[in-house]
Structure formats: C-alpha cells, structure tokens
Amino acid sequence: MLNKLTRSTGVLVLGLALTVSLCACSYAPAATPTDAPAPTAAAQQATAAPEAAAPTEAPAETPDAPASTEPQYTIGEAQVKLWTNSIGSQWMQTIVPVTNTGKVNLYVDGGSFDMEGADGSLIGVQNYVSAFPQILAPGETGYIYENTSPETALEETPSIVPHPDISEATVDLIRYDVTDVSVADREYGGINVIGRVTNNTGEDASLVYVAIALYDADGAVVDVVFTVLTDGLAAGAQMGFEASSFSLPENVTAEQVADYSVWAYPMQMQI
C-alpha cells in the first residue's frame, strides 16, 4: 500500500515538474537586443552620399553664324545749305558723312540723292554725286558731296535722302603724303587751299585726287574742296596743288576754318 502511494506520489511530482518546466518555457521573456556595431567610415560615406544622377547628354553645339559679308557703315545726317550769290544764281551745297564701322576697306560711290520738300514730296533728284575719299579705311569718315546750281530754282531748303553705292574695296587703299597746307580767302569769295603732294610709293600715278574737308570750331563741315593733278605724279616726286570752293555763302570765310582733313590718292575704278 505504501509502495503504491509512493509510486503515485512520484508520478504526481514528476508530472508537476514537467508542467512547471513547460510553463517556464512558454513565458520566458524575449532577449534584449545588443547595440549594433558602429558603421565604418566607408559605410557612413556610402550611406550619406546620395545616389549619383545619371549623366545627361550635353546639348549639341550650335555652330556660330557666319560673319556678315555686307559692308558695315553708318550714314550721318545730311548738311544742306541753299543760298543765292551776288549775281543772282542759286546754289545748293550738300555734305553727307559716311563712316566705315566694319573691319575691311570700303569703296564709296556717291551715287545719287533725292530732294524732298517739307511735306515729304519729291522736288528733285541729283545724280552722279561725288564721294571723298573713294576708299574708306575701318573707322574712317569720308563725305558724299555736291555743290551745284539747281536748274530749277528751289523755294525751300530740301531734305536729302542719299542713295550711295558702297561695297567692300577690291582695290588697294593708297594715300600720298600731303604737306605745307594753308587755307585762305579767295579774292572774289570762297576759300582756297594750297599744299604739296608727295608720291611716297614705288609706282607712278597718272591722275591724283586731292580732297580737303574744312571744319569750323564746333567740328561741323564748312566745305569740301578738291582738285585733280592731271600732269601725273611719278614715284617719289612732289608737286604743289591748289583747290578752291565752287561757291560759298558770303559769310563763310577762311577765318571760320579751325581744322581740316586732307586725302591724296590715285583715281581707282572698281567695277
């Protein structure tokens, strides 16, 4: 009887121990995680650096536009004087500045100009207008010039619309030396200019133009006078010249001339 009880008690104890053990396994607390190891410098850099953007294709370069082949110049405001001389003849002087604003020499043909009245109506046309000098270097200013007695008397000083023919020069720019220039009044009115031209080139010249623009103290053009040496000018030779105004208002005298520009060059035709 005792053995039977003892065996029963042992079985009961063993059962209780097994039950406690199973409960302990079921309710064991979760393990506390340990601190993660510090990332290496390389890992930090890889983590911090943003993902590199995919390279974009560079836009195709647009080729530069070709340089303009058109002559570059400006035409200034026309200066027009209209007057009647002492013998009753009407005269009109027209001076239009032309400046070479480009990088190549220009050949200037004066062309023609329209004459307009105050209302814009056409009152006359002047053809075969002169230009001095024929060839303009970059940065240089020359003049379209005409001094004429109109066939039909004008009742008002007209406005001028110039139509010059200007192109890139295909002939060489040649300038001769000019010295001993002096300006004086003519006996019967107008201005006279004298001086010397030296052919400083190695080639003879058959026709030599000499043109002088006369300026007042304000830089305005008083007149443009010119002449042609028809005797020719040998290489290295020197020759005097005299150039006079065709006609000027009586109040325009040499005393008003404060400065001048002078050009001497061979006649050069460009087609």
Which pLDDT tens digit goes with each residue over 224-260? Answer: 999 999 889 999 999 999 999 989 998 899 999 999 9
Shortest CA distance to 247 belongs to which of 222, 230, 228?
Answer: 222
Alpha carbons 226 and 233: distance in angstroms, whole number? 17
- Computed from CA positions of residues 188, 193, 199, 205, in that sequence, does the dihedral angle turn out positive or negative? negative
Please state, rounded to an integer, the average pLDDT across all residues of the chain. Answer: 82
How crowded is the C-beta side of 215, counted as CA atoms within 13 Å? 11
Q: What percent of the chain has pLDDT over 90?
A: 68
Mean pLDDT for the stretch of residues 80-104: 95
Question: How does DSSP assign the chain, residue by residue?
Answer: -HHHHHHHHHHHHHHHHHHHHHHHHHTPPPPPPPPPPPPPHHHHHHHHSPPPPPPPPPPPPPPPPPPP-S--EEE---EEEEEE-TTS-EEEEEEEEEEE-SSS-EEEEEEEEEEE-TTS-EEEEE-S-EEESSEE-TT-EEEEEEEE--SS--SSPPEEEEEEEEEE--S-----EEEEEEEEE-TTSSEEEEEEEE--SSS-BS-EEEEEEEE-TTS-EEEEEEEEETT-B-TT-EEEEEEE-S---TT--GGG--EEEEEEEE-----
Residue 188 pLDDT = 83
Average pLDDT over residues 88-116: 96
Q: Which residue has the higher pLDDT, 4 or 261?
A: 261
**Residue 63's pLDDT band (cuts 50, 70, 90):** low
DSSP states of 5-53 as a string?
HHHHHHHHHHHHHHHHHHHHHHTPPPPPPPPPPPPPHHHHHHHHSPPPP
Segment among 44-48, 95-99, 178-182, 216-220 with least mean pLDDT: 44-48
Question: Domains, the chain, ranges and CATH?
Answer: 70-173 (2.60.40), 174-271 (2.60.40.10)
Give the per-residue pLDDT at 174: 96
What distance in Å separates the CA atoms of residue 8 and residue 70, rounded to the nearest whole number? 126
Are 113 and 126 in contact, with CB atoms under 8 Å apart?
yes
**In this predicted model, what pLDDT tens digit does every residue of 112-140 receive, in sequence order?**
999 999 999 999 999 999 999 999 999 99
pLDDT at position 70: 84
| pLDDT > 70 in the chain, percent | 75
Cα angle 136, 139, 144 (rounded to 5 degrees) comes to 45
